Structure 1
Amino acid sequence: MQNGDTLLIPFNKTFWLMGGIYASGLAYVTIQIDGILKFSDNQTVWPRDPQTQRVYECFFFEQLNYVTFTSSLSGGNKGIIDGSGQNWWGLVEYLLIGENRPRLLSIYNSTNLLVENLLLKNSPYWTFLANDIANLEIRHTDVDARIRPDAQYHDLNEMTAFNTDGFDVAGTNVWIHDCNIWNDDDCIAVKEQSSSSIHSSCSENMLFERINASGVGLTIGSIGPSATHTCVRNITFRDCTMYNTFKGIYLKSRPGQVGHTGEITNITYENVLINNASQWSIWIGPQQAGYKDACSLVWPFLPDTPCPIPIGITWNNIVLRNITVNGPHLSPGVILGNLSNPMLNVLFDNVVVTKPGFFPWGTRYYACEGVEGIAQGNTQPPPPCFKIKPF
């Protein structure tokens, strides 16, 4: 493709693809998907790196500049990229192949991108990853990854479609808005930049707004300390709705080498509605995961399960404002900082939980330690370790 070219996938046609589609160096071009791109689900013949046997991504692009992924359809119709992920999901499949599964759309080391009016469906693994990105806008683009096409809840069966992250982004100047997400892992995850990033050493300056999401949260992380000082800062989620979600607001750190550092600073969630969360509505603390030294996935429900809190991440200026949580199945949440390096300036301003669950924290409502926090406005119930600031 040359500057100014458009690649057109025609309306009302389905094109079957095998993974490993790669492009580099595209500039000032448009990829217009008016039909359906559907990937094979045949793991046996899926292309792999000959040395590592890692599968190649469905799409992998790098060094793009001024590239648009779009559809010309209207009336609620969208161009579709379908990863045929069902054959890659499931507990047995996870035991056999782990996370050696292809991402649907992966973009690296690129600038000035627009993704709009698309449906990203049933990715085998993470749906969309933008890594080392500057100036990315995603709008009117939906993510749908579910076992049953009509699933409305994240039950145990649905959750076997894990690792189907929605939008994962690491970079600077990102705006994602007016999107719908249903999946069984992080709905949106702000990731840390790699040490080789050329655009910014931090993931920073991102806005996510007017998003309907249901899955494992509107997420920061997981963020781990590094020798080059990991940093995630100036991130805002606002005007978002989460129905029948698994987790709601989710900020997570992970362990790193002793002496390495990182930060999560200037993070704001405002005007967020969370209805009928089946697990934690608000989690600020260590990542829940299945790897060693993570907070156990079954903590605190099984006795003696560990939940270590990393020390290397500095948390500062975390704001939740005008958050409404209705009818959570469990206690409202978890706010856990390391006592040796506590979270600073955590503010709950009008964080209202109606009909909070009593399990497992009873009338304390939150697990809360290692944090210097303030509850103000109409915050009810306030986390027990926060100071109450009167009106």
Structure 2
Amino acid sequence: MQLLKSLLPLLLSLTSISATVYNFEELGALADDDSLDTAWKNGALINTTLATLTAGDTFVFPNKTFHVMGGLRSDDLSDVTISFDGTLVFSNDIDAWPKNENGDVFPSLVFNNPKNVVFTSSGKGTLDGQGGKWWGLPGIGYLRRQENRPRLFEVANGENILVENIFFLNSAYWTFWVHNVNGLEVRFCDIEARRTEKDKHTLIDITAFNTDGYDVTGRDVWIHDCTVWNQDDTIAVKDDSQNMLFERITASGVGLTIGSIGASTVKNITFRDCHMHNTYKGIYTKFRGEGGVIEDVTYENIVIENPSQWPIWIGPAQQSDSNRLCAAHPCSICWPTVPFAECNAADSQYKNILLKNITVIGGKMSPGVIMGGTSQGMGMENIVFDDVVFQDPSSKPWGDDYYKCEGVTSGVAKGKTWPVPPCFDDQTDKN
């Protein structure tokens, strides 16, 4: 896989330009004041300062706690550094949060069309979304607000972006959403979204729906040496993405994910050297509709410990896009445990998918679901499991088959792979 070019030239170029350093507190921001009035004033000051930055400038949030109102926005930043040395706590006043004329909330912090921008910290800065108020009571909060909740950090149409040393805490909705990017490196960052401090995804925790970790689209993305503990996709590669590498990531949530993908092509994606402790799902690729292609994908050197749901899922998206939680869009999250719940294969293509050196330890459910489309020219082609090994797998619900496996045109199991999906050609070393 062609890796990203080093972003070191970007850093060197920023230090070589005549620069002004803007200190948030020295500009008049109030620290350690959680009043709504201060949140509005601090937020307005951020927007004003972002609009004044020019090439070579640095905007520093010093190592203190600043309460801010969301709806922060910057357009067309170029060749600047933003250093979150302290903590930004976003308001949880839902009624006061800025909205458009349709009542849709604005993101907490969004950067449109940035180029050669570094988001960093001298230590480990924090962006705190205070998501608990937005999540509401388990289950009830989602039915009330559904997905009308603010994303924490968003970059749109960026080029040559570096994000490092930042802690993204309790986002109300998607945590990190960088889309249509051309050149992105994320390193030494952490994401956490929890209702409780338990070392597992309880039924209460998992109702912090849509708290995605690193969601990305575009080209040439490298995310490495990061952590995620959340209640949705830990990483989500979305539509029309190519040339992405995710490595040395500790993740626990609803999977190292590609999807959900519609009628677009996603290719040349690699996950490697990742550890998933007490995760919900493990490896997860999904289509939400027809006409899409996911190809040239590698999952390598992945350890999945005690998954509470599917360790491996390659197939349709298991989700509901409505307040009917068991609706199938296209596969119900209630399937197969709830009677009459449906799981419908998507007429899209999987091609050249490699799982290599995957270890799954324990788990509450069968090894997985491999479900391709059944229309001519769709389905799954060249799916390879090489040393995909389960230790003490559950037989629930697929019994001795271990996998739900259908719609596979060509699938091969190699090396020490066990158990072998029943619709694969068994070429394993049985000795």
Tell me the TM-score normalized by structure 2: 0.84
Secondary structure at the aligned position of 2:202 is classed as coil
Structure 1 residues 109 and 10: CA distance shift in structure 2, 3 A: same
Structure 1 residues 309 and 240: CA distance shift in structure 2, 3 A: same
Contact 2:318 2:329 in 1 (8 A): no
1:329 aligned to 2:364? yes
1:152 paired residue among 199, 214, 229: 199
1:310 aligned to 2:310? no
CA drift at 1:305: 1.3
Corresponding residue for 2:422?
A: 384
Corresponding residue for 1:297?
A: 333
* Paired amino acid for 1:6: T
CA distance in 2, matches of 1:91, 1:303: 21
Decide which structure has greater helix share: 2
2:119 paired residue among 64, 69, 80: 69
- Give the percent of matched residue pairs that are identical in Structure 1 and Structure 2: 51
Corresponding residue for 2:47?
A: none
Corresponding residue for 1:351?
A: 388
CA distance in 1, matches of 2:118, 2:337: 46
What do residues 348-383 of structure 1 show as CA deviations (whole Å, max 9, x unaligned)? Answer: 000000100010001110000111200000001111
Corresponding residue for 2:60?
A: 8
Corresponding residue for 2:82?
A: 31
CA drift at 1:310: 1.2
CA drift at 1:339: 2.0
CA drift at 1:303: 2.2
Aligned Cα root-mean-square deviation (Å): 0.9
1:56 paired residue among 101, 106, 119: 106
CA distance in 2, matches of 1:295, 1:252: 10
Decide which structure has greater strand share: 1
1:80 aligned to 2:110? no
Moved over 6 A (4+): none
CA drift at 1:390: 4.3
CA distance in 1, matches of 2:119, 2:297: 29
Corresponding residue for 2:251?
A: 213
Secondary structure at the aligned position of 1:114 is classed as strand
Corresponding residue for 2:230?
A: 183
Corresponding residue for 1:106?
A: 154
Uncovered stretches (5+) of structure 2, i.e. residues with no partner:
1-52, 322-327
CA drift at 1:92: 1.5
Secondary structure at the aligned position of 2:161 is classed as strand
* Paired amino acid for 1:111: E
* Paired amino acid for 2:403: Y
Task: Summarize the alignment of residues 237-316 of structure 1 with structure 2, pairs less than 5 Å apart.
Answer: 237-256=271-290, 261-291=291-321, 292-311=328-347, 313-316=348-351
Higher alpha-carbon Rg: 2
CA distance in 1, matches of 2:233, 2:392: 25
Corresponding residue for 2:404?
A: 367
CA distance in 1, matches of 2:142, 2:338: 23
Contact 2:349 2:372 in 1 (8 A): no
* Paired amino acid for 1:365: Y
